[in-house]
Amino acid sequence: MKKKVLKLIFSGVIMASSSTIAQETIENFLKNQPIIDMHFHITKGYGDNEKYQHLNTDIDKAKLDWVMEDYKKNNVVLVLGGGTLKYAKMYAQADSLFWAGLIFPCSKTVEQDQPCEKEFYTESELGELYKMGNFKSLGESMFNYYGIPPTDRRLEPYWKIAEEFNIPIGIHADSGPPAARVNKEENPNYNPTYANPELLKPILEKYPNLRIYLMHYGGEYSEQSLKLMKAYPQIYCEISAVSMFMPKEVWEPNVKKLYSEGLGDRLMFASDYFDTVRKNIEIIYNLDWLSQKQKRDIFYNNAARFLELSASEIKEHRKKVD
């Protein structure tokens, strides 16, 4: 274990120092740079949150206002966000900034999921929700927290509807967080191994065109993620949380591998945690072995391709940051 970590640190240092690219300042770089955030959690507002509690007497609205302002400040022009029905609807209707959808499944015992109207929806219920066109994404997947594998039959309707409506799906594909850090009362059956992306294989065999993106690439399941991405050209990834919480020596070599394996054009920007947009922008910006073009691709172009944005949508986004 120790040896492996040392080796990782060593190779990370060598690779980083051998190919540093000259960089302009982050402020200059970000000027007119549209950004797509592929990972946001739509939740209720929290009355004790000091960032937004003063903005509106309706605390849900206060959170929405703060989030929209923060995204605007950071040139974010599109956000994929998942939540439970009530709040996913609220965000979907609030502004075209959000491509909202359902987390799956939600859990009645999880505070952040309140209100979890229904833990599992049927195929016809999902069909109704997605047919209306308000919902444009699915995820984050929560089945590892809930304690079931992706092949659980209660999840079948989600895969089916996602394929039918060509919906992008965010899959939690890292073994983190460690069991000790997960609230046992909220998630009594939490099983981190159910996030192993290898377990998606039978689902992809049945629905080979699913537009999946693997959340939290760069950690323990990096090899499995690479394999899946090689087998399915439409599968993309992002490195949120892993790149913010784990040592760079652990995840950076895995990001380099993504490029050396020819998959760098499938990496997208994501923040995941509330109030970390700027921090996550800096994490990508500080990867000084990437060219400016590669960084711009991560911030916008790769996601635009993955999401199949139209030329007019792209034009609209660029105009927003002009």
Applying CB under 5 A, the residues found at the interface with Zn ion are: 140, 272
Q: Which is nearer to Zn ion, 138 or 290 (CB)?
A: 138
Nearest approach in angstroms of CB 103 to Zn ion is 9
CB 197 within 8 A of CB 231: no
* In the complex, minimum distance from the CB of residue 122 to Zn ion, in angstroms, rounded to a whole number: 25
Specify which residues 213 forms β-bridges with: 170, 236
Question: Residue 310 CB, nearest distance to Zn ion (Å)?
Answer: 27
Distance from CA of residue 284 to its chain's centroid? 14
User: Closer to Zn ion at the Cβ: 85 or 195?
Assistant: 195
211: left (phi over 0), alpha (psi -120 to 50) or beta: beta
**Nearest CB to Zn ion, comparing residues 140 and 252:** 140
Report the distance separating Cα 236 and Cα 233, nearest Å. 8
Helices (H), the chain: 2-18, 26-30, 59-73, 85-94, 123-131, 143-146, 156-164, 201-206, 222-231, 242-245, 248-260, 277-285, 292-296, 302-306, 311-320
Compare residues 33 and 222 and give the one whose CB is closer to Zn ion. Answer: 222
Give the Å distances, CA to CA, from 91 to 64, 83, 199, 249.
Answer: 8, 9, 31, 37
Written as six digits, the tokens of 55 are 């903005």
Which residue lies nearer to Zn ion by CB, 178 or 233? 178
**Tokens representing residue 314 in the block:** 């792209």
Q: Which is nearer to Zn ion, 102 or 290 (CB)?
A: 102
The answer to whether residues 271 and 302 touch, using CB atoms and an 8 Å cutoff, is no
Q: How many CB atoms lie within 10 A of CB 299?
A: 23
Greatest distance between any 2 Cα atoms in the chain:
55
74 phi, psi to nearest 5 deg: -100, 20
For Zn ion, the closer CB: 37 or 297: 37
How far apart are CB 239 and Zn ion at their closest, in Å? 12
**What is the nearest approach in angstroms of Zn ion to the Cβ of residue 40?**
8
Measured from the CB atom, the residue of 191 and 292 that comes closer to Zn ion is: 191
Q: Minimum distance from CB of 262 to Zn ion (Å)? A: 27
Q: Are 51 and 283 in contact (CB under 8 A)?
A: no
Q: How many whole angstroms separate alpha carbon 165 and alpha carbon 186? A: 32
CB of 50 to Zn ion, least distance (A): 22
Report in angstroms how near the CB of residue 225 gets to Zn ion at its nearest. Answer: 16
Residue 39 beta carbon to Zn ion: minimum distance, rounded to whole angstroms: 6
Nearer to Zn ion, 141 or 294 (CB): 141
| Residue corresponding to tokens 């955030």 | 37
